[in-house]
């Protein structure tokens, strides 16, 4: 197995002026700003300023503008081309400008790709049927490269004869200036999703030869989306983005951010975001920089940039009304103070609670598992597997006649408490379905039994808590939990491991702290979670104490299952979709993260929730090797939003198994296409299998996933 290296904390430095940062960092950053404004070199850094650039409406300060100023806030800007101009704008609005250029553009010398594209475009019959132009500057640069070999007129004529797609107004303007009227204009907000959806709505892409003009980092999501729809894609790079030659100002700014000595950050391109995070990680302060951003007001020039910020698990606090630099600085000056008050209050509360350790402990000298190369475990590690592994949540359940025969003679809790019965239904499901993993038969609420809250199951109503937790006194009455009281689950795992452990990975599981807390507070299931949310808002200290206790119990419970033989563990946060991002960040994330951080790194963790499309980035931040997706999200879109930094599991709608087999096949194929054959996809339902599901349809799904994904 391979694991990420440990992340070093930002070095502790002498505090200056209460800011908690080496004063030299701030002095160096300010010196950089002053030199930039005067267009002077400093420490080897180069600021490119066009000699004829004049202050325009975007950069000019309006004397009648009543927008509040920064009031001395420290504003980090990662702009390169207009470094001096943005410094002037920040300082005119009362801010301390820390200019840290995060990138430079490097033209591709001897651009064979551009020349080859031109040759193929001008062939007797053009080899391309669609060309996508992503940026205005890139479009002009591509023409400039092609014109070293060919005249502009035939290039423009060839493009006018096929479908040309322009992503946004700058690409449209560039094409028109060069003599080409684009046939498809992509609407706002001009992300790759709009490019793909607009093109697909107007052109049948299957079999089409599509070229993409790229400017900087490759857009893998767009390429994958086109290929998934049957297009044959050619990438035509023009420039590449790289870090600046002199990285001292950027390093100084990152250290200031990590040390809490910066208040506002503004990003003007997605490439800046990538370079900032990558350099922070390379310097060993990635985690500190992300914590620093969490305490700051973070602004983005527009949706494409915001998407990249969120892909790294960071929050975007504001965007300007118009995607222009001057409007961004104005929005920052107007909103930063109020944003900082809210962000720093939330950060203080989170850090005052359980602080999750991002490093998971490895099992030293642990022997290599004989199942290490099983497709299921390889997928958890995002390694290539011979086919897409599949298992089904609630695969041992009421839809199976074998299960119903056992259930007719025994109560549900009795089946959970008796290792022989739990093992029997677990193994039967694997043998009947031929899935790639077993999941131990149990229930997420079992840890509530030793809490003595009166857990029982009523027919038609599900779980009921006789003594719910509604006050601090209720919490005090709950005894300390020794997970040895749940040893029957470990015993069942041992029996399953003995029966099929040599060939089939076994999944242990537990409910996440929030879901357990919601049951405890509501007294059972709920639709609105009114009691739970009221508890959070009105008794935050008691809430965090409850969550800390549940997190410790859950971590111990999962480690007990691992010791018994579980190869993988899954955390079910079934009800967390009832929360918005701010509440999740404040009340849930640190506690879920503490559970995951306690799991040995050798054991993959699947982190699953429902109705969590708006929480995926935060759930990724909480941790886990695999993120479970329910059927309400598009798998391709969700995985791209996660920057492919984690494996994913899902996500067929359980109701689809009631359709005929041909329809099931179509829907399964669509999900496999969304995954695009990338390593790290585990096929599953978007929630548990339903009681009336035809067993033969479940078996057919397993078979067809194995067949269609075979590589």
Residues of the chain with CATH 3.20.20.210: 388-709
**Which of the listed ranges 120-134, 226-240, 272-286, 659-673 does the model predict with the highest average pLDDT?**
659-673
Tell me what pLDDT residue 443 has: 95
Q: Any idea which architecture 108-237 has in CATH?
A: 3-Layer(aba) Sandwich (3.40)
What is the pLDDT averaged over residues 701-710?
Answer: 96
Is 81 an annotated catalytic residue? no
Q: What pLDDT, in 10s, does the model give residues 43-68?
A: 333 333 332 223 333 333 443 455 56
Is 582 an annotated catalytic residue? no
Tell me what pLDDT residue 224 has: 73
The class (CATH top level) of 23-50+68-103+244-352 is alpha beta
Reply yes or no on whether the pLDDT at 119 is more than 80: yes
Residue of 247, 360, 394, 620 marked active site: 394
Residue of 519, 529, 557, 584 marked active site: 519
Where does 38-111 have alpha helices with state H?
A: 83-92
* Residue 661 to residue 665: CA distance in whole angstroms: 6
* Residue 199 to residue 187: CA distance in whole angstroms: 11
Nearest to 569, CA basis, from 606, 624, 538, 543: 606
Q: Do residues 572 and 511 lie in contact, with contact meaning Cβ atoms separated by under 8 Å?
A: yes
Residue of 398, 418, 470, 632 marked active site: 398
CA angle 42, 44, 50 (to 5 degrees): 75
* Residue 633 to residue 627: CA distance in whole angstroms: 12
pLDDT confidence bin for 376, thresholds 50/70/90: very high
Is 93 an annotated catalytic residue? no
What is the pLDDT averaged over residues 579-593?
Answer: 89
- Helix%, strand%, coil% for the chain, nearest 5: 45, 15, 40
Reply yes or no on whether the pLDDT at 24 is more than 60: no
* Residue 384 to residue 309: CA distance in whole angstroms: 28
Structure tokens at 322: 């118009």
Q: Can you say whether the dihedral through the CA atoms of 658, 509, 376, 404 is positive or negative?
A: negative
Q: Do residues 244 and 80 lie in contact, with contact meaning Cβ atoms separated by under 8 Å?
A: yes
Is 35 an annotated catalytic residue? no
**Which of the listed ranges 226-240, 357-371, 687-701 does the model predict with the highest average pLDDT?**
687-701
* Residue 685 to residue 653: CA distance in whole angstroms: 6
Q: Do residues 184 and 190 lie in contact, with contact meaning Cβ atoms separated by under 8 Å?
A: no
Q: Do residues 679 and 657 lie in contact, with contact meaning Cβ atoms separated by under 8 Å?
A: no
Q: Model pTM greater than 0.95?
A: no
* Residue 188 to residue 319: CA distance in whole angstroms: 14
pLDDT confidence bin for 286, thresholds 50/70/90: confident
Is 394 an annotated catalytic residue? yes
* Residue 335 to residue 343: CA distance in whole angstroms: 12
Residue of 443, 556, 602, 673 marked active site: 443
- Considering only residues 30 and 113, tell me which one the structure prediction assigns the higher pLDDT: 113
Tell me what pLDDT residue 136 has: 87
Tell me what pLDDT residue 241 has: 64
Nearest to 635, CA basis, from 230, 206, 228: 228
Residues of the chain with CATH 3.40.50.10090: 23-50+68-103+244-352, 108-237
Q: Any idea which architecture 388-709 has in CATH?
A: Alpha-Beta Barrel (3.20)
Structure tokens at 321: 């009304």
Residue of 120, 407, 418, 678 marked active site: 407
Reply yes or no on whether the pLDDT at 505 is more than 50: yes
């Amino acid at each position: 197995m391979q694991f990420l290296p440990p992340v070093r904390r930002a070095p502790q430095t002498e505090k200056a002026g209460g800011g908690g940062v080496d004063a030299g960092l701030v002095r160096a950053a300010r010196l950089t700003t002053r030199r930039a404004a005067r267009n002077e070199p400093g420490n080897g850094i180069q600021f490119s300023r066009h000699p004829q650039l004049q202050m325009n409406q975007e950069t000019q300060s309006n004397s009648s503008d009543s927008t509040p100023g920064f009031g001395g806030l420290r504003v980090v800007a990662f702009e390169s081309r207009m470094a001096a101009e943005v410094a002037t704008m920040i300082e005119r609005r009362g801010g301390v400008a820390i200019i840290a250029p995060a990138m430079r553009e490097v033209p591709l010398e001897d651009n064979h790709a551009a020349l080859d594209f031109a040759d193929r475009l001008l062939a007797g019959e053009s080899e391309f049927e669609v060309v996508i132009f992503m940026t205005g500057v890139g479009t002009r640069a591509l023409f400039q490269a092609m014109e070293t070999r060919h005249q502009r007129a035939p290039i423009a004529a060839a493009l006018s004869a096929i479908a040309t797609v322009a992503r946004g107004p700058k690409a449209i303007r560039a094409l028109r200036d060069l003599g080409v009227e684009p046939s498809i204009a992509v609407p706002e907000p001009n992300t790759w999703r709009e490019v793909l959806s607009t093109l697909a709505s107007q052109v049948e892409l299957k079999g089409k030869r599509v070229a993409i003009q790229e400017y900087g980092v490759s857009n893998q999501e767009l390429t994958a989306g086109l290929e998934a729809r049957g297009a044959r894609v050619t990438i035509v790079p023009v420039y590449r983005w790289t870090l600046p030659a002199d990285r001292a100002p950027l390093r100084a700014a990152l250290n200031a951010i990590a040390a809490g000595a910066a208040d506002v950050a503004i990003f003007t391109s997605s490439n800046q975001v990538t370079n900032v995070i990558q350099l922070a990680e390379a310097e060993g302060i990635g985690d500190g920089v992300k914590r620093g951003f969490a305490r700051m007001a973070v602004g983005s020039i527009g949706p494409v940039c915001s998407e990249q910020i969120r892909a790294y698990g960071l929050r975007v606090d504001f965007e300007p009304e118009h995607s222009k630099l001057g409007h961004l600085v104005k929005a920052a000056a107007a909103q930063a103070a109020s944003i900082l008050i809210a962000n720093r209050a939330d950060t203080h509360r989170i850090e005052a609670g359980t602080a999750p350790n991002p490093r998971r402990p490895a099992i030293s000298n642990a022997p290599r598992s004989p199942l290490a190369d099983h497709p299921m475990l390889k997928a958890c590690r995002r390694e290539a597997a011979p086919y897409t592994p599949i298992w089904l949540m609630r695969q041992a359940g009421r839809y199976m006649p074998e299960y119903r025969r056992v259930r007719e003679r025994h109560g549900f809790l009795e089946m959970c408490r008796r290792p022989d019965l739990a093992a029997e239904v677990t193994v039967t499901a694997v043998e009947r379905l031929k899935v790639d993993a077993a999941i131990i038969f149990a229930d997420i609420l079992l840890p509530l039994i030793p809490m003595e809250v009166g857990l029982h199951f009523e027919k038609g109503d599900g779980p009921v808590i006789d003594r719910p937790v509604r006050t601090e006194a209720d919490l005090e009455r709950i005894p300390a939990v020794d997970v040895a009281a749940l040893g029957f689950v470990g015993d069942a795992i041992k029996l399953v491991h003995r029966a099929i452990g040599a060939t089939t990975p076994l999944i242990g599981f537990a409910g996440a702290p929030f879901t357990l807390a919601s049951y405890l507070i509501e007294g059972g299931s709920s639709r609105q979670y009114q009691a739970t949310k009221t508890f959070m808002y009105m008794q935050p200290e008691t809430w965090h104490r409850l969550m800390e206790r549940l997190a410790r119990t859950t971590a111990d419970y999962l480690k007990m299952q691992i010791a018994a033989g579980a190869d993988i563990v899954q955390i079910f946060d079934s009800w967390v979709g009832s929360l918005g991002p701010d509440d999740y960040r404040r009340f849930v994330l640190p506690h879920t993260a503490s559970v995951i951080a306690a799991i040995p790194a050798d054991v993959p963790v699947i982190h699953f929730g429902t109705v969590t499309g708006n929480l995926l980035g935060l759930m990724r931040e909480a941790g886990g090797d695999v993120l479970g997706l329910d059927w309400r999200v598009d798998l391709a879109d969700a995985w791209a939003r996660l920057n492919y930094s984690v494996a994913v599991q899902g996500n067929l709608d359980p109701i689809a198994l009631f359709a005929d087999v041909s329809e099931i096949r179509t829907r399964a194929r669509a999900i496999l296409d969304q995954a695009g054959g990338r390593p790290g996809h585990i096929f599953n339902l978007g929630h548990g299998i339903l009681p009336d599901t035809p067993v033969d349809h479940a078996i057919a799904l397993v078979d067809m996933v194995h067949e269609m994904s075979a590589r």
